[in-house]
């Protein structure tokens, strides 16, 4: 898997590159828009992370240029601006996701992985298993060690999302987006409460914990 990073701040670029490499990606990095478009047009990438404010050629124009050349590499925009306007503009231009600075690297990684997965177009399984956890999406049943877990709709949706992304960090914002379909952050502990409830139902009676908290970042489903 190969990712292009276009970011003019050297420090931010280096931590993104380092992190992506650690996660097993091959990474190319450009520090201005012109170099970025050159790389994007001549090499093939599975995903691109592009800053909006770039010297020489801004991120939005870069994406427009890419799409004009029929290159449909999924793109995540990075921006220091928070307004809904920019987000909408970015998505209209043809980017696939949007992340505002400052962001946590885990969140960026999760989004890059999600984009690549979505672009690969694999059909979503209707039966999910992870460790001794298993879910039947159609029958809306979940079991752990063959013992049925009674889940309410939001709890079920959260577990489904975690099961589809095992071992990956899932941030509160992502849960807000995928479980509640909210694109705004109500800045509440709603997600904590939801995770806490799910954890009570999934982990309480078992020695081995499956849902883990990464402080300040999010949650991850893994066998400890």
Partner 1 sequence: MFLKNPRLLLKSSSFRLITWYTVFFILSSLVINIYAYTVISSFIYEQSRKEIEEDIADLAKIYQEDGLEALLEDVYEDEEDPFLVRLIGNQDNMLISRIPKDWSSFKIEQLEKSGYPKNKEWKYIKGEENENEFEITSLSMSDGSTLQLGHKIIEREDLLRRIRKVYIIAIIPVILFAYLGGVFVADRALNPIRQLINTLKSIVASGKIDVRAPVYQTDKLHEELISLFNSMLEKIEALMNGMRNVLDNVAHDLRTPMTRLRGTAEMALQSEQNTDVLREALSDCIEESERILIMLNTLMDISEAETGAMKLEPEEMNVAPLIEDIVELYGYTAEEKGVSVYSGFPKELYLTADRNWVRQVLANLLDNAIKYTPTGGRIDIEACRREQEIVITVKDTGVGITHEELDKIWERLYRGDKSRSQRGLGLGLSLVNAIVGAHRGYVQVSSEPGAGSVFTVYLPV
Residues that bind partner 1 (CB under 8 A): 82-85, 102, 104, 152, 154, 180, 182, 184, 186-190, 193-194, 196-197, 215-217
Q: Which of 83, 82, 87, 114 is nearest to 101 (CA)?
A: 82
Q: How far is the CB of 203 from partner 1 (least distance, A)?
A: 16
Spatial neighbors of 192 by CB under 8 A, at least 6 apart, are 172
Q: How far is the CB of 89 from partner 1 (least distance, A)?
A: 13
Residue 220 to residues 76, 113, 132, 168, 224, Cα–Cα distance (Å) = 22, 14, 16, 6, 11
Nearer to partner 1, 22 or 188 (CB): 188
Give yes or no for a contact between 184 and 83, defined as CB atoms under 8 angstroms apart: no
Q: Which of 68, 93, 15, 67 is nearest to 77 (CA)?
A: 93
Q: How far is the CB of 83 from partner 1 (least distance, A)?
A: 6
Of the CA atoms within 13 Å of residue 91, those in its CB half-sphere come to 8
Nearer to partner 1, 67 or 212 (CB): 212
Nearer to partner 1, 126 or 189 (CB): 189
Q: Which of 71, 23, 65, 69 is nearest to 45 (CA)?
A: 71
Q: How far is the CB of 196 from partner 1 (least distance, A)?
A: 7
Q: How far is the CB of 16 from partner 1 (least distance, A)?
A: 17
Q: What is the pairing mode between strands 211-214 and 218-221?
A: antiparallel
Nearer to partner 1, 72 or 152 (CB): 152
Q: What is the residue-wise DSSP string for 61-96?
A: HHHHHHHHTT----EEEEES---HHHHHHHHHHT-S
Nearer to partner 1, 5 or 194 (CB): 194
Nearer to partner 1, 146 or 181 (CB): 181
Q: How far is the CB of 155 from partner 1 (least distance, A)?
A: 8
């Amino acid at each position: 898997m190969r990712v292009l990073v276009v970011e003019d701040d050297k420090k931010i670029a280096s931590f993104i590159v380092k992190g992506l490499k650690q996660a097993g990606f091959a990474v190319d990095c450009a520090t201005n828009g012109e170099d970025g478009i050159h790389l994007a047009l001549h090499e093939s990438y599975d995903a691109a992370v592009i800053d909006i404010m770039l010297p020489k050629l801004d991120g939005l124009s870069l994406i427009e240029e890419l799409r004009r050349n029929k290159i449909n590499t999924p793109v995540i925009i990075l921006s220091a601006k928070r307004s809904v306007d920019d987000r909408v503009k970015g998505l209209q231009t043809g980017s696939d996701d949007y992340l505002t600075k400052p962001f946590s690297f885990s969140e960026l990684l999760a989004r890059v992985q999600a984009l690549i997965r979505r672009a690969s177009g694999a059909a979503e399984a209707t039966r999910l298993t992870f460790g001794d956890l298993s879910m039947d999406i159609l029958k809306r049943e979940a079991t752990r060690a063959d013992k049925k877990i009674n889940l309410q709709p939001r709890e079920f949706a959260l577990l489904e999302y975690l099961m589809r992304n095992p071992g990956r960090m899932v941030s509160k914002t992502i849960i807000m987006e995928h479980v509640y379909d909210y694109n705004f952050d109500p800045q509440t502990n709603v997600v904590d409460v939801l995770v806490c409830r799910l954890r009570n139902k999934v982990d309480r009676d078992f020695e081995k914990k499956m849902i883990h908290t990464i402080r300040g970042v999010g949650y991850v489903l893994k066998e400890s």
